[in-house]
Amino acid sequence: MSEIKTHYRNCNICEAMCGLEIKYQDKEILSIKGDQQDPFSKGYNCPKATALQDFYNDEDRLKTPIRRTATGWEDISWDEAFAEIAEKLTAIQHAHGKNALAVYLGNPNAHSLGNAMFLKPFMKSLGTINRFSSASTDQMPHHVAANFMFGAGMLIPVPDIDRTDYMLIIGGNPVVSNGSMMTAPNVLGRMKAIQKRGGKVVVVDPCRTRTAKIADQHLFIRPEKDAYLLLAMIHCVFENNKVNLRHLAGMVEGVDQLAQLVKDYPPEDVAELVGIEASAISTLASEMMAADSAVCYSRMGASTQSFGGLCQWLTNVFNIITGNFDRAGGAMFPQPAFDLLRNHKKGHKSSFGQYSSRVRKLPFFNGEFPVAVLAEEILTPGDGQIKSLITVAGNPVLSTPSGHKLADAFDTLDYMVSIDIYLNETTKHANIILPGTTGVENSHFDIFFNSFSVRNTVKYSAPLFEKEDEQRTDWQIMQEIAARMTDTQVQKITPEMILDMELQKGAYGAQGMSLQKLVDNPHGIDLGPLKPCLEQRIKTADGKVNLFPALYRDDLPRLNKLMAKPARDKQYPFDLISRRLVKSHNTWTQNSDRLVKGKNPCTLEVHPIDAEKLSLVKGQIIRVSSTVGSVEIEVAITDDIQQGVVSMPQGWGHNQKGTRMSVAATQPGVSINDLTDADRVDLLTGNAALNGTPVALAAL
């Protein structure tokens, strides 16, 4: 046996960028622990990191292409697979137009260096505008707000959690998610540090989450009512004449128009609707104004809902007018070593609304259409109908609204290709599956999440193990498909070549930043705390912050209809919300035995009063129904959930026929997206409204 060696890398499963220390011998991983010398995570890592070992060793994982036939799946060579794919997709585009081909990109693409580098040229080579991704089930409201307020969709402010004195969290559970649009390993430790230095953490959420239990205060709120809470708190700021723009006074436009608008939303008028007393709303605003430094952070519950666009705009507004923007302890902008905005010119024309989806006319933005329209774009005949599809590292049948409808749509496609390591609920509909390498076989650099990081850091991870001769990386697969479809040669360029160039041309290039410098510092390099930089980074044409974009003004009547006449569906009297689990990440960690072992985590949380009314008992299997489907799930009774609200985790439902994920298939979980409705979206941004789905409960 050879000697035991040590490898350092970042975990690429979630956003937190935790540094790992991996002990290995030959090609066997012996242990995965937190890297004590990582300057950002400082030895912290969550349980998910161990799945890197499971992904690598998984017997269910595909390593060579397979093709679906009438009698089952068969192995084929890479050359045969690429030849057939190019022939089929080219013929479909020739017959029906370039846009007859669509691409769906799953969440793991954001965690892949190679995919992040080569997806844009890949899409260009295909010639289609029909791109869809998990971003519109998650974060699109953040990007739209950044685009209209600051001039670029990636210019998203993050909480300076390490220096704030007051943190208001709306619809977020960062202790479990390790941030989410706020890259921050060990949020638990960072929150406790706020409290230790005399600060305060407040959580507003329909569920008393793990984050809420650690916070100093938790307030229940009705699902999808967050925009009213934000408007009322902003009203309090103006009412008390406490607007404080600090150093941004000369950069902010629209204050007077905003002041006029929020007069209509005093706490007394919204209290009953949101479920929070008017005095408590006023207190939140007062605490935010009075703190030496403060930040409001709103996330999934405020994004994946019918008014997600308004929520993220108003969150930025609240931080700005209380003097907590682009300032230590407030909402700030990272300055990453690889800057995605390096070539983004001021006044660059936004792509928002450049196109509209063919059937429902939802907006195109950030190079894609909302995934909520994908099924109807496949199923609706006519010019521009999607006839073929490529999915890359995604399982939308489980992760997008009305997933079962999407599965039916996939069966009608003329041809489908999946780049994925598993035969899962989505890829089983493909004609050919092309498996890439994964995790420890890939090099890694967090291009996207350094842009959301609560501290400026930089780190490169070389592959731990070299891929086998017959294996391809995802980016090599995309390069080959592009070359075959355009009848060109594969470009001799690697992700590392692009990375090195961007590092040298970036903000720290003058200080000697390069790929070699990162190779020489395997634990990563600390670049310091976030600094005020909005004046340098803003991308609006006039260099001003647009506090009151017309887009949001025009969306307010839609919100006001709800205020005038709150709707409660008698047939579906409960509001369904999702919840995050610390040992799972979307749909792609459920085939790791060490992450799914133990008691069933996929339960429906119900308030005791609601359970008593329906004669439900703990552990009972009940039917949950919505307008689009039903599931059967185990009941968990808890006062951690608000009365009238029920909750279940997302990312489950792997026990379908025709898949090859043996560990996941043994799990009792069901898919929340058999209940969510693709017709429920935030009309402003097109983001799926996954939270607040009306449902009914019935004992079996």
Judged against a pLDDT cut of 80, whether residue 568 lies above it is answered with no
Domain 144-368+445-459+493-563 has CATH 3.40.228.10: yes
pTM of the model: 0.97
Residue 477: what residue type?
I
> Which token pair is 288?
């935010």
Structure confidence at residue 220 (pLDDT): 98
Pairing of strands 101-105, 131-133: parallel
Domain edges within the chain: 5-57, 144-368+445-459+493-563, 568-699
| Cα dist from 315 to 156, 232, 234, 325, whole Å | 12, 12, 9, 11
Beta partners for residue 264, in sequence order:
none
Distance CA 480, CA 77 (A): 14
- Provide the pLDDT confidence category of residue 566 given band limits of 50, 70 and 90: low
Chain segment 321-376, per-residue pLDDT in tens: 999 999 999 999 999 999 999 999 999 888 898 899 999 999 999 999 999 999 99
Which of 3.30.470.20, 3.40.1190.20, 3.30.200.210, 3.40.630.20 would CATH assign to domain 5-57? 3.30.200.210
440-447 mean pLDDT: 96
- Give the whole-angstrom CA distance, residue 499 versus residue 497: 5
| Interval 194-206: pLDDT, tens | 999 999 999 999 9
Report the distance separating Cα 284 and Cα 272, nearest Å: 16
481 vs 118: CA distance, rounded Å: 12
Closest CA to 672 of 658, 691, 685: 691
Look at the alpha carbons of 413, 417, 418, 422 in this order and tell me if their dihedral is positive or negative.
positive
Amino acid 476: pLDDT: 97
Query: Do 572 and 694 meet the contact criterion of CB atoms below 8 Å apart?
Result: yes
Give CA separation, 289 vs 242, 318, 420, 446, 551, in Å: 7, 10, 49, 35, 27
Give the residue-averaged pLDDT of 6-19: 95
- The mean per-residue pLDDT over the stretch 208-234 comes to 98
Pull the structure tokens for residue 273: 């609707």
Average pLDDT for 269-275: 96
Half-sphere exposure of 325 (CA within 13 A, CB side): 27
CATH 2.40.40.20 assigned to domain 568-699? The reply is: yes
The owner of tokens 């300076």 is 160
What are the C-alpha distances in Å from 250 to residues 185, 330, 566?
35, 19, 40
